[in-house]
């Protein structure tokens, strides 16, 4: 049996420091290739390859589309692109955002699972919410290995805790123990095995990979294995299909935007926050207009109209104050529900 020579790593908040620690423990002759997806802003360039190259002995790069996969190299997803794996090479695509991010972790993990099967190892590090859980579930489905940073030491524990809650994880380790594990797993591969070789257990590229790759498909219900939900996509307004990876609820729209239930809650909260600010602006403008109309009625001795406008002005002020109070108190803001509480961390199976 081949070892894990395809290592995909996902991180979010606190991820730069965690990745530096991880790569600092990897040897120069590592018999594996690493692929990293870190949530990045799309507004500017990323210096992450330079940072990781300095932190360890392995070179890190933003790969070119179609670049061949080589052992002993770290491939970092560039800003505003999903990093995907094909047999023997990498692919960069500006596909639909997943869990509100591009690059996102789930597309990288899914592509590794479908291209390399049991040769893939997925690693979830520090981060908020739950990006990576669905992809790690797929890796396990294809007989790969799942490794999760111990959430008790992670700077942000939500991503590790989500993975532990929904995936049959193989190893739960402190950060400094992950690199030696990956080195040992990589060295178990068979001599002479080609990185382009396929795993006989894998099937054809699935519907979700076609969506991420921006291939022409209609996201038919039978392809997605999901049901149309009552929810609309926060990104484009389209209908969302509801799917499940084990116990993890997920949603995807016709054009491909994907959300976990947790990321949907956060996106809805932000949309609601925007709507409240817009409502406050409109209500205050309405109050000011009513005030001017009332004053104008007074100037022209139209007492009946002035009294009617005064009533409407006071009502608009009251509504404005209610909206302002909601925003000031933050009563409609959502935290990270479901993963704030302590979860029991299962023991390592090492």
- The answer to whether residue 12 is catalytic is yes
Nearest CA to 135 out of 60, 68, 62, 85 is that of 85
The H or E element that residue 143 is part of is none
Strand 258-260, strand 6-11: pairing: unpaired
Which of these is catalytic: 5, 31, 39, 150? Answer: 39
d(CA 36, CA 21) in angstroms, rounded, equals 14
Which of these is catalytic: 5, 12, 157, 199? Answer: 12
- The answer to whether residue 41 is catalytic is no
Nearest CA to 152 out of 24, 12, 344, 349 is that of 344
CB 77 within 8 Å of CB 101: no
Q: What separation in angstroms does the CA of 317 have from each of 150, 162, 254, 279, 289?
A: 51, 44, 42, 13, 11
CA 3, distance to chain mean position in Å, is 27
Nearest CA to 87 out of 196, 5, 2 is that of 196
Which of these is catalytic: 5, 106, 131, 209? Answer: 131
- The answer to whether residue 162 is catalytic is no
For 230, residues 6+ apart whose C-beta sits below 8 A from its C-beta are none
CB 250 within 8 Å of CB 83: no
Q: Would you please indicate which residues are annotated as catalytic (active-site) residues? A: 12, 39, 131
């Amino acid at each position: 049996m081949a070892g894990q020579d395809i290592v995909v790593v996902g991180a979010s908040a606190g991820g730069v420091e965690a990745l530096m620690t991880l790569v600092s423990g990897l040897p120069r002759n590592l018999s594996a290739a690493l692929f990293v997806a870190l949530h990045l802003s799309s507004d500017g360039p990323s210096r992450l390859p330079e940072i990781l190259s300095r932190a360890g002995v392995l070179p890190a790069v933003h790969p070119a589309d179609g670049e061949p996969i080589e052992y002993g190299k770290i491939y970092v997803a560039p800003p505003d692109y999903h990093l995907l794996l094909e047999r023997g090479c990498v692919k960069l695509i500006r596909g639909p955002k997943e869990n509100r991010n591009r690059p996102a972790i789930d597309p990288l993990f899914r592509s590794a699972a479908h291209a390399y099967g049991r040769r893939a190892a997925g690693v979830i590090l520090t981060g908020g919410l739950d990006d990576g859980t669905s992809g790690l579930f797929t890796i396990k489905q294809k007989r790969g290995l799942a490794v999760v940073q111990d959430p008790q030491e992670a700077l942000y524990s939500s991503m590790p805790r989500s993975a532990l809650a929904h995936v049959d994880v193989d190893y739960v380790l402190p950060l400094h123990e992950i690199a030696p594990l990956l080195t040992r797993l990589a060295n178990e591969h068979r001599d002479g095995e080609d990185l382009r070789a396929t795993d006989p257990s894998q099937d054809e590229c699935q519907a979700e990979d076609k969506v991420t790759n921006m291939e022409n498909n209609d996201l038919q219900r039978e392809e997605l294995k999901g049901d149309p939900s009552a929810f609309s996509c926060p990104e484009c307004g389209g209908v969302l299909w509801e799917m499940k990876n084990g116990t993890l609820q997920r949603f995807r729209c016709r054009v491909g935007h994907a959300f976990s239930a947790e990321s949907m809650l956060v996106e809805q909260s932000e949309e609601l926050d925007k709507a409240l600010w817009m409502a406050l602006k409109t209500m205050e403008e309405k109050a000011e207009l009513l005030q001017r109309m009332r004053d104008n009625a007074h100037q022209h001795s139209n007492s009946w109209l002035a009294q009617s406008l005064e009533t409407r002005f006071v009502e608009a002020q009251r509504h404005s104050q209610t909206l302002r109070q909601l925003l000031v108190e933050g009563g409609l803001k959502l935290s990270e529900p479901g993963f704030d509480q302590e979860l029991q961390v299962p023991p390592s199976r090492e």
